Amino acid sequence: MADQDEELDLRTLSDEELTEQMWDDLYDGLADEIAEGTKILLERGWQPYEVLTKALVEGMRIVGNDFRDGILFVPEVLLAANAMKTGMTILRPLLAETGAPKMGKMVIGTVKGDIHDIGKNLVSMMMEGAGFEVIDLGINNPVEKYLAAIEEHQPDILGMSALLTTTMPYMKVVIDELKTRGMRDDYVVLVGGAPLNEEFAREVGADAYCRDAAVAVETAKSFMQRRHNQLRAAAG
């Protein structure tokens, strides 16, 4: 780790050293340094997605491990999350800049009782980048919020995120309500979050579990393709 008393010029570091320095800076919650590191990597020709995954997401994984092991606590993790968001703010327009035709519409939100939003925000960004219109409901969403957004925006896809084993069962509450109202088959339901897996997604009645943001994009695209094919077959 760099000597805290010395002013470290991030530009003098090699790509590998800079990436490792960014993991340290994320760990220390240094938002300005993360912003600078993100910009430097972009200037050096890194793809936005590469900066996101190799510098930011990997740094957050390290933070997550030490949080789990009781080395870091909530205030420190909040600072790390804030630093990560600073980097994501720079990457967001670049990831969304593909100019792809609109692929479909998605409503997404973190479920009730859960305030984790970094992963969901990443999914939103990547979906926008892939040409989806995204309506992001934020965190801590009760079933009523999802239903109101579905009614208002008529999306193709409903996405739900949960990071806690205590909140992930709430996804079933939302899906069951859609079933009760006879609306379940009108939408593709995709779920994600670190504690989930495919089996859980099947059990709660989702269409698919998405391991990460890239998988979410691929899964959403393939469901949209299927929808278009079905509509074409029905029309002709």
Scanning residues 72 to 111, which ones bind ligand B1M (CB under 6 A)? Answer: 74, 77-78, 81, 108
Calculate the alpha carbon distances from 205 to 131, 164, 211 in Å: 26, 19, 17
176: which 2 tokens? 């069951």
Q: Is 173 in the site for ligand B1M (CB under 6 A)?
A: no
Three-class secondary structure of residue 236 per DSSP? coil
CB 191 → ligand B1M: shortest distance, Å? 6
Instruction: Specify the stretch interacting with ligand B1M by CB under 6 A; choose among 17-25, 176-184, 192-200, 224-232.
Output: 192-200
- Give 115 or 231: the residue with its C-beta nearer to ligand B1M: 115
Q: Is 116 in the site for ligand B1M (CB under 6 A)?
A: yes
N- to C-terminal Cα separation, the chain: 64
Cα(133)–Cα(4) distance, integer angstroms? 43
CB 233 → ligand B1M: shortest distance, Å? 26
Contact 37, 15 (CB under 8 A): no
CB 43 → ligand B1M: shortest distance, Å? 24
Residue 236 CB contacts under 8 Å (≥ 6 apart), including other chains: none
Cα(174)–Cα(180) distance, integer angstroms? 10
Q: Which member of 51, 63, 96, 150 binds ligand B1M (CB under 6 A)?
A: 63
Other Cβ atoms within 10 Å of 50 Cβ, number:
13
CB 148 → ligand B1M: shortest distance, Å? 19
Q: Which member of 57, 103, 171, 204 binds ligand B1M (CB under 6 A)?
A: 57
Residue 138 CB contacts under 8 Å (≥ 6 apart), including other chains: 109, 110, 117
- Give 13 or 53: the residue with its C-beta nearer to ligand B1M: 53
Footprint of ligand B1M on this chain (CB under 6 A)? 57, 60, 63-64, 67-68, 74, 77-78, 81, 108, 113-120, 122-123, 159, 161, 163-165, 190-195, 210, 212-213, 216
